[in-house]
Amino acid sequence: MAQQSLTEALRSSDRLKVMGAIVDIGKESHPELARELFPFLTHPDPDYRSLAIQSLGLFLRHPDARDIAFKMWAVEPDPDSEVCEAAISAWSSYYDGTADRWAMGQLVAVLRDRSLPKSTHRIAYIGLLGVSAVPRSRIKVLGLVDRDLVEEIAREHGLD
């Protein structure tokens, strides 16, 4: 979609058009429109917030999105668990393959917090696998949290 059409769609009263534009800005890689997405990070609609952090972080790799995503799930957690999960996913993607000890520690802490939803654990687990660059041969079933593997990663990286 053309830049002008995307900008117009963001201002639409049609919720689906707005959501589609937020996604398209990221997926079609329109970094010139990134600033247009920032107001949606605090929008009352959680779907807008979730899509905005995904577009900014996962797709556009906007330099400010990493810290914003961390704030959305760890510092001042969004009241909507799906927004927190989108933020964890976007945030952890910045550390993919780095084996960054601090990032892994943050994700392990999420996985050890039994008060969080299972869906949040799954997102944190996928993030941990990406950050730690665990070989596929060590992953039993992707999508199911392997708590033994989480603890192995934590021990290997001194996160106990």
pTM of the model: 0.93
Q: Is the pLDDT of residue 119 over 80?
A: yes
Q: Which residue has the tokens 């668990």?
A: 81
Residue 53 and residue 155: Cα distance in Å, rounded?
31
CATH match for 1-68 among 1.25.10, 1.10.405, 1.10.3470, 2.60.40: 1.25.10
Roughly how many angstroms between the first and final C-alpha of the chain, as a whole number?
48
**What angle (nearest 5°) sits at the alpha carbon of residue 82, between those of residues 5 and 8?**
10
The three-class DSSP label of residue 11 is coil
- String of b and e for 104-140 (b: at least 16 CB within 10 Å)? bebbbebbeeeebeeebbbbbbbbbbbbbebeeeeee
Predicted pLDDT of residue 3: 78
**What is the percent of the chain where pLDDT is above 70?**
99
* Domain ranges within the chain, ordered by starting residue: 1-68, 95-160
Predicted pLDDT of residue 2: 79
Residue 159 and residue 101: Cα distance in Å, rounded?
8
Mean pLDDT to the nearest integer, 65-72: 98
Q: Is the pLDDT of residue 12 over 90?
A: yes
Q: Is the pLDDT of residue 62 over 90?
A: yes
Predicted pLDDT of residue 24: 97
